[in-house]
Structure 1
Amino acid sequence: MLRVLTLSTLFPDTTRPNFGGFVERQTLGLAALPDTAVTVVAPVGLPPWLMRRSGHRALAGLPRVEAWKGLTVHRPRFATLPGTGARWHAASLVRALMPVLDGLPAFDVIDASFFFPDGPAAVALGMRFAVPVSIKARGADIHHWGRVRREQVVAAGLAADGLLAVSESLRDDMIALGLPAATIAVHRTGIDRARFRPGDRARAQAALGIHGPAVLSLGALIPRKGHGIVVEAVARLPGVTLMIAGEGPERPALVAQAARLGVSDRVRLLGAVPHATLPDLLAAADVMALASSSEGLANAWVEALACGRPIVIPDAGGAREVVTSPAAGRIVPRTPAAFAEAIAALLADPPPTAAVTAAADPFSWERNAHELRAHLAGLVASRTPAG
């Protein structure tokens, strides 16, 4: 029996059902394998003055322990101090987790599913409980925290027993940061092919009250995702509707931009959308466009392909590992003009659906789970004395 402690500050809860859904799905796949027991610790960071914001109050009201889709999930609180650049997040996390882990059944390995602050905390806890530690990098945890908290990120990476990256590109970025190449394995995301598959476009559009050419952009409404670039691109394409699924602080700016460009009637801000409904949105679209400035390997890219929708994305993260054929879409400069040209080309000459979905074939949650278990079991075996 392999006993895994999965540690992730990026994990869904009732207040944030889409938060870290890919971590949840990976963990569910791992827990479903034979001879594998998984306990999840999903810490919740809260500032000392949490009662000033309703969002903090909602997080504070989460249960400390709950059954979540068949998993036992512990949600301890740890203190965060806004304005400090997360300097003390990892130390605070260790202090909060030590008594929690003391009360848990024995575990063989810690699987940290986000690099910061999870990674540094996992290394400290691995030393305390004498178990190996794996840390997985997903994109922003390297591209952002590797810059802001580089010393802590690098120290954790050097001390961990094994490292994972969601793409070859991210692995290269980790090596450039100073992490050891020999310990970094590529562990790609998965896709639920039973859920994400081609749908009825006419029916999906009718349900949404739209018709004609449509583009979908998926992701939090934050500058890094580049939704404004897609808004301006679609403004250059008469008759094309843009749906944006996501929520965040950029919403007012996007609303104002659409009004300024005279396309408010063609830009729909859908807000946070449950993950289970994404296939319907993708069915209603002809193209998925996401202008992220950085990514690891975005699940949204692969989910779109599995639904038969080509993608238009910049050369960010693992883009070239996903767009491996013209049918999969286009990799373009991160400008409105380039996005508009690529979207127009795909709308004018749509690739065969079967060729688009084939681009998603290398991505499987079953493969993801088996590779993760083998990786973690290997770390445990390396700590076990021979004979």
Structure 2
Amino acid sequence: MTQTRYVFVSTEDDRHLVKGGIGTYLGLLTRVLARRGHPVDWVTQSPTANSFSEAEGGVSRRYLCRSPSESRARFGDRLARCVESIVSASRAADPDAPIFVEAPDWEGTLADSFESWAASEQVLRITRTHTPLVLCLGNNRLEATNENLEQIDRERRQMTNSDLLSSPTRYTLGATLKFALGGEAPCGTVVVPNCVDAARFRPDFSTEGVALERLRELTGVSLSADRCRLFVVGSLEHRKGVGVLQRAIPALFDLSPELELCWLGHNLSDTGSQVSANAKLTKEAFYNPIPQRFRDRVHLCGFVDHDVLPEIYPAADLFIFCYLSDNFPGALTEVGLSARPMVTLMRGGIPEIVTREGRPLTLGINAASESEIASQLVDAVRTFLLNRESAEALAAELNSHLRERFGEEEIVDQMQQAYRSAHEKKCASLRGEAS
């Protein structure tokens, strides 16, 4: 039997260039597909100034270098040419083997490639709607620059030229249709959640003492085991709740002199330049609105390599996720798999992840404005301080829920069924058959 070939493209991976949850999702996905006997190709950005290839467990990875002066569009064109060469070689080698090509909406890398494969029964064109740029403009206070407007147009064209829009959450699918596509789906749609890294992120991976020491070694930040440690994970961006935390910090620290806040994630002071359209803040810009007397209790640790996060998470007493409209945040699921208590802003795709039978398995908050969210955050932290056992029980429930609901084998089953069905419909349509 001819096996379907899967081809993926991204600007990050799960080994060398981890920027967020997409790399982890694709890493888990590609390994499962390869174990099932499918040829898998993954085209992504190189972490160095050189391009190179690797093969591991049936997954062929091609890493393309990007020069600092290269625009998003130009680099995207090179990624697209690489994907096109893979597809052309595969079609020539086996004209009967289906080829499923999945690209994220972000940057619209395969907009033109997808248009060229419109009449091909062999090629299924899938756009994975993580978070199109148009959804980030307001929440991340981005400017409508020519480069950003061109990216929005490429993303729209790629989605319009797709055979299937696949989204991790109902929220992101609905928002994409409404704000990026004028309210109408140009093709079939499906919601298939991301799979989660249940093997690596476990409650027993590390201990508090080891975690505090590893944090000190890696970031230079020394936290006391006697303090109550609040952690935020995510790039230093407005959409990750920067404004909420800036407003909340004075009232939070007034709750107890033992509270400290630690933020793990990229900031502009460390990176030196913006790595994507989603602009990051400098450390100075974050600290400026915070009263001087509280600043020594706020620690911006910068980016920490994804591989060591399981060792560090037990250093936190409570995690705070005040993401304004995230889709399927990988950091949240990894903290949940580590069974750490958390406060979550119930927006975006987060309710679809942390809710079971209508009940949130976190300290959930929700409000309209950043000031109101900040006030609710303070109340949630106060609740945690008064009853840690209840928050820890919720964390244990969430841990079980994530493992049962988002395991990689179950999610890949859902994905393959949806993609096969979309391919059958495309073939029937091209042949003029009733679907």
Q: Same fold (TM over 0.5)?
A: yes
**C-alpha spacing 1:288/1:359, structure 2 compared with 1 (3 Å):** farther
Question: Structure 2: how far apart are the matches of 1:258 and 1:365?
Answer: 42
Q: SS at 1:36's partner residue? A: coil
C-alpha distance 93-38 of structure 1, shift in aligned 2 (>3 A): closer
The aligned residue for residue 379 of structure 1 is 422
1:214 to 226, 229, 232: 229
Report the CA distance shift for 1:134/1:370 in structure 2 as closer, same or farther (over 3 A): same
Q: Do residues 185 (structure 1) and 190 (structure 2) align?
A: yes
Q: Cα distance, 1:13 vs. partner?
A: 5.9
Instruction: Give the CA deviation at 1:80.
Output: 9.8
Q: Which residue of 1 aligns with 2:220?
A: none
2:192 is matched by which residue type in structure 1? H
Listed one character per residue, the Cα deviations across residues 355-382 of structure 1 (whole Å, up to 9, x for unaligned) are 3323424222222222222223333333
What SS does the aligned partner of 1:132 have?
strand
* SS of corresponding position for 2:195: coil
> What does residue 157 of structure 1 align with?
159
Distance 1:251 1:109 in 2: 40
1:51-200 pair list within 5 angstroms:
59=48, 61-67=49-55, 71-76=59-64, 94-95=80-81, 97-99=83-85, 101-103=87-89, 108-124=99-115, 126-127=117-118, 131-141=123-133, 143-144=135-136, 148=149, 149-176=151-178, 177=181, 178-180=183-185, 183-199=188-204
- Is it true that 1:242 corresponds to 2:261 in the alignment? yes
How far the C-alpha of 1:191 sits from its partner, in A, is 1.8
Contact 1:310/1:327, CA 8 A, preserved across alignment: no
- Residues of 1 paired with 2:33 and 2:203: CA distance? 28
Structure 2 CA distance for aligned equivalents of residues 182 and 75 of structure 1? 30
Residue 303 of structure 1 deviates from its aligned partner by: 1.8
* SS of match in other structure, 1:371: helix
1:167 deviates by: 0.6
Distance in 1 between residues matched to 2:158 and 2:105, nearest whole Å = 12
> Shift of residue 318 of structure 1?
0.9
Does structure 2 retain, via aligned residues, the 8 Å contact 1:243–1:270?
A: yes
TM-score (norm 2): 0.73
- In structure 1, what residue type is equivalent to 2:264? A
2:353 is equivalent to residue 322 of structure 1: yes
Distance 1:96 1:195, change over 3 A: closer
Q: 5+ residue gaps in structure 1?
A: 45-57
Deviations 1:161-200 (A, max 9, x none): 1111111111111221334187111111222223223246
1:221 and 1:247 in contact (8 A); partners too: yes
Q: Is the Cα contact below 8 Å between 1:234 and 1:240 reproduced in 2?
A: no
Deviations 1:98-149, CA, capped at 9 Å, x for gaps? 4464456656221113443235144135348651111101124461489945
8 Å CA contact 1:157–1:179 kept in 2: the answer is: no
Distance 1:299 1:279 in 2: 13
Match 1:256 to one of 280, 287, 296: 287
2:408 match: 365
Which residue of 37, 41, 44 maps to 1:42?
44
**Partner residue of 1:51?**
none
2:328 corresponds in structure 1 to: 297
- Is the CA contact (8 Å cut-off) linking 2:28 and 2:197 kept in structure 1? no
Secondary structure of 2:200's partner? coil
Say yes or no: does 1:281 pair with 2:286. no
**Secondary structure at 1:193's aligned position in 2?**
coil
| CA distance in structure 1 between the partners assigned to 2:51 and 2:299 by the alignment | 35
Q: CA deviation at 1:2?
A: 1.4
Residue from 245, 249, 252 that aligns with 1:230:
245
**Matched residues in 1 for 2:73 and 2:265: separation?**
29
- The answer as to 2:382 corresponding to 1:344 is yes
Q: Which amino acid aligns with 2:159?
A: G
Q: Is the 8 A contact 2:25 2:194 kept in 1?
A: no
RMSD value over aligned CA atoms?
3.5
**TM-score (normalizing by structure 1):** 0.81
Counterpart of 1:36 in structure 2: which amino acid?
H
Number of corresponding residues? 370
Per the alignment, residue 47 of structure 1 pairs with: none
| Identity within the alignment, % | 18
Q: Is the 8 A contact 2:317 2:340 kept in 1?
A: yes
SS of 1:133 mapped into structure 2: strand
Are the counterparts in 2 of residues 328 and 359 from structure 1 also a CA contact under 8 Å? no
